[in-house]
Amino acid sequence: MVFADFALQNLCQIRIETKILSRVTEPTEGYAEIQGRVGSLLEVGTGFHPELTGRENIYLNGAILGSIGASVIELGVSLFYVRPSLFLKSSIPLRGLWSFAAPLFMSALSLRFFRLDLFALKVLGGTAAQAGFYSAAFNLSTPPALLSISLSPPLISTLSRLMKDGHTSEAKEIASAALSSVFWLLPFGAVAAGASPDIVELVFGRDFSTAAPIFAFLIFAAVALHAVNVAIAILTASNHPKWSFTLTGPMVPIALLGHILLIPPLGGLGAALVTTFVACLSAVISVLAVYRTLGPPS
């Protein structure tokens, strides 16, 4: 990897020369001879973050490009195995499909905006170090989210098939067992919260000890969001997709208000408190909505 160093006094000249070397702009006179490959991070691509070093910016650019490449490969592999009919007329009525897709899309969007706690921390005055500690704690709390991603699709398909075939009692038992998985996770969450200093030190080192109390809260937020996702899957399978946005939509303004109030005095810990409280509140309401809709298992 070679870095070009221009001994020029004028910043505009540096930008023009980097554009020429990157083949973004053609020179008006003369020519630029390039041997090998040229990759630009200025003007073309992601640019530089002022609080990161040059090497860290390169790593950031590589992580973004790697994430995009992984998504493209995942899409290609999925299309290879599923092979959907892209040009044939579907037998599913579009209006019926939209009645499910619209609230689920809004629910997913609400959950995405709800998890912008790291962004809120940065906007409301958090430093790069605070954002780094919060990001480390957030990454440690992802296992329950992975469980939700793996559980929701088969849960929806299984419950939908059982209810369509008239096996309502069996569907209720499976739904109840799925919700019980949330309570199975609570002891593990409590153990992880109690051992948060040791876990953070083991994974990230002693320098990240500040992330330990944040992780202790976020692990319970992740368990609560798992409950929300399971409840949404059950309600969707039972032909109540509108409940998905009803349960998740209010989370965004409540969390935003909480972040505005608690992040300035408490920093990352305030963001974690708000996220955990709102997630737990939504989880309780989601579980109650499932039992109100389906009733207890027969």
Whether the per-residue pLDDT at 60 is higher than 90: the answer is no
Check residue 159 and give its pLDDT: 85
Whether the per-residue pLDDT at 90 is higher than 90: the answer is no
Check residue 44 and give its pLDDT: 42
Compute how many other C-beta atoms are within 10 angstroms of the C-beta atom of residue 192.
21
Using one digit for the tens of pLDDT, what is the confidence trace for 13-34?
Answer: 666 667 777 666 777 777 777 7
Whether the per-residue pLDDT at 287 is higher than 50: the answer is yes
Compute how many other C-beta atoms are within 10 angstroms of the C-beta atom of residue 259.
23
Mean pLDDT of the residues in the chain: 79
| Residue 3 confidence class, pLDDT cut points 50, 70, 90 | very low
